[in-house]
Amino acid sequence: MLEYIKTILLKVSFDKMLFEKELRKAFKILIKEELQQLKKWCYDQFSGMYLMILNRVFSKAQV
């Protein structure tokens, strides 16, 4: 499931609202260990574009 979520996030990364929506959906699907991997991957891939969104979403989730 983690690889699927990554694919989706890459495909919607052109739109910040879609990106945030899909990122939030990932929290309903993935287990804690996968969320930790997703967090690292997201910051590596998208911190230049969506740092505020990543901080907001991941800080609320306490991953």
Please indicate whether residue 60 or residue 5 has the higher confidence score (pLDDT): 5
Predicted TM-score (pTM) of this structure? 0.90
- Residue with the two structure tokens 């959906």: 25
pLDDT in tens, 18-49: 999 999 999 999 999 999 999 999 999 999 99
Residue type (1 letter), 53: I
The answer on pLDDT for 62 being more than 90 is: no
The first and second tokens of residue 6, run together, are 């990554």
Per-domain boundaries in the chain: 2-61
Concatenating the DSSP letter of every residue in 6-54 gives: HHHHHHHTT-HHHHHHHHHHHHHHS-HHHHHHHHHHHHHHHHHHHHHHH
DSSP-derived 3-state class of residue 63 = coil
